[in-house]
Amino acid sequence: MNIFVLLKRTFDTEEKITITNGFIDEEGAEFIINPYDEYAVEEAIQIRDAHGGEVTVVTVGGEESEKQLRTALAMGADKAVLINVEDDLEDGDQFTTAKILAEFLKDKEADVILAGNVTIDGGSGQVGPRVAELLGIPYVTTITEIEIKGTQAKLIRDVEGDSEVIETSLPLLVTAQQGLNEPRYPSLPGIMKAKKKPLDELELDDLDLEEEDVEPKTKTIEVFLPPKKETGKILEGDLSDQVKELVQLLHTEAKVV
Ligand SMILES: Cc1cc2nc3c(=O)[nH]c(=O)nc-3n(C[C@H](O)[C@H](O)[C@H](O)COP(=O)(O)OP(=O)(O)OC[C@H]3O[C@@H](n4cnc5c(N)ncnc54)[C@H](O)[C@@H]3O)c2cc1C
């Protein structure tokens, strides 16, 4: 079985986020595999172990994404591909990323493509479905279970806490939801082996893409942090006076009544 995982390097949202000149300041931040993509890597490895074949992880990004690709290889993926757009593109959005990934995947005869449900930084949840649309294959989002029999797949997807059971056929793209599995930690032998596994690097040229083919369709106008939480107010005095003051504040300050 030919299995692909779409993997994004994201900054760790446990990090303190600061905005500089309208952009999230990445200086000194820790970077990780997007957590939902870890579920995708784990599931891909389990599918390969059950059905045979190989797992390829692919990222659109820059040189520094190599670290996260090596981690996926250390978990057990077989190959990695970095589509390095650093020198070719200044801007990109979900269209850009999906178009590049679909162009890479179109002749790979993938049976199953796994992506994360959403990234913890960009958070649009668009890239997986967009890639499937461009490839003209079925997709099922937020899956918590996948069972493959021949060319058929039975999936359970999370629908806001409820479950939906879906049957479809391969080739198929799915997006991973929390609860799909418990991603393994890379073992020491896994880390050693990963150093020798193939990590290919491609550029737009290798995919016969020009800059204008992947021009972003959207523009981010502004990025800002939520307003700082104000300290709480403690009301004092008689209970009846406190209630009056509370109602007054709800009316004039919170403007909720
Ligand atoms: C050249 C370039 C410049 C960019 N510049 C900026 C910028 O200045 N500011 C900014 O905020 N963003 C920038 N981006 C990032 C871009 O806007 C989105 O972050 C990216 O397209 C993914 O969208 P998302 O984070 O909403 O992912 P989602 O749609 O939420 O991701 C869902 C899933 O899709 C897959 N996926 C997503 N992204 C990738 C990827 N890169 N490679 C492989 N799989 C992926 C993963 O499986 C992920 O879990 C740039 C992108 C490119 C290509």
The residues spanned by each domain of the chain are 2-214, 229-257
User: In 117-232, where do the E strands start and end?
Assistant: 139-149, 152-159, 162-169, 172-176, 199-202
For domain 2-214, which CATH number applies: 3.40.50.620, 3.40.50.150, 3.60.20.30, 3.90.960.10? 3.40.50.620
Residue nearest to atom 34 of ligand 1 (CA): 127
* Residue 126 Cβ < 6 Å to ligand 1: yes
Task: Give me ligand 1 centre to Cα 205, in Å.
Answer: 20
Place of tokens 């737009």: 204
Predicted pLDDT of residue 45 = 98
Task: Give me ligand 1 centre to Cα 117, in Å.
Answer: 13
How buried is 76 (Cβ within 10 angstroms: 0-12 exposed, 13-18 middle, 19+ buried)? buried
Written as six digits, the tokens of 238 are: 């008689």
* Residue 8 Cβ < 6 Å to ligand 1: yes
Task: Give me ligand 1 centre to Cα 97, in Å.
Answer: 6
Q: How sure is the predictor about 20, in pLDDT bands with cuts at 50, 70 and 90?
A: confident
Task: Give me ligand 1 centre to Cα 62, in Å.
Answer: 12
Predicted pLDDT of residue 170 = 97
Written as six digits, the tokens of 52 are: 């045979």
Residue 191's SS3 state is helix
Question: Beta 54-61 vs 139-149: how paired, if at all?
Answer: unpaired
Task: Give me ligand 1 centre to Cα 139, in Å.
Answer: 19
Question: Beta 19-20 vs 23-24: how paired, if at all?
Answer: antiparallel
Measured between alpha carbons, how far is 213 from 234 in angstroms, rounded to an integer?
A: 58
pLDDT tens for residues 62-102?
999 999 999 999 999 999 999 999 999 999 999 999 999 99
* Residue 125 Cβ < 6 Å to ligand 1: yes
DSSP string, 34-58: -HHHHHHHHHHHHHHHHH--EEEEE
In the predicted model, what is the mean pLDDT of the chain? 94
Cα torsion 246, 251, 254, 257: sign: positive
* Residue 139 Cβ < 6 Å to ligand 1: no
pLDDT tens for residues 41-51?
999 999 999 99
Residues in the chain: 257
Mean pLDDT of the region 107-112? 97
Neighbours of 158 (CB within 10 A): 18
Q: Which is more confident, 220 or 146?
A: 146
pLDDT tens for residues 137-187?
999 999 999 999 999 999 999 998 899 999 999 999 999 999 999 999 999
Q: How sure is the predictor about 105, in pLDDT bands with cuts at 50, 70 and 90?
A: very high
Measured between alpha carbons, how far is 55 from 44 in angstroms, rounded to an integer?
A: 6
Q: Tell me if 46 sits within 8 A of 147, measured CB to CB.
A: no
Q: Tell me if 115 sits within 8 A of 176, measured CB to CB.
A: yes
Q: Is the pLDDT of residue 21 over 80?
A: no
Question: Beta 139-149 vs 199-202: how paired, if at all?
Answer: unpaired
pLDDT tens for residues 182-197?
999 999 999 999 999 9
Residue in 26, 23, 32, 241 with CA at minimum distance from that of residue 119: 32
Q: How sure is the predictor about 249, in pLDDT bands with cuts at 50, 70 and 90?
A: very high
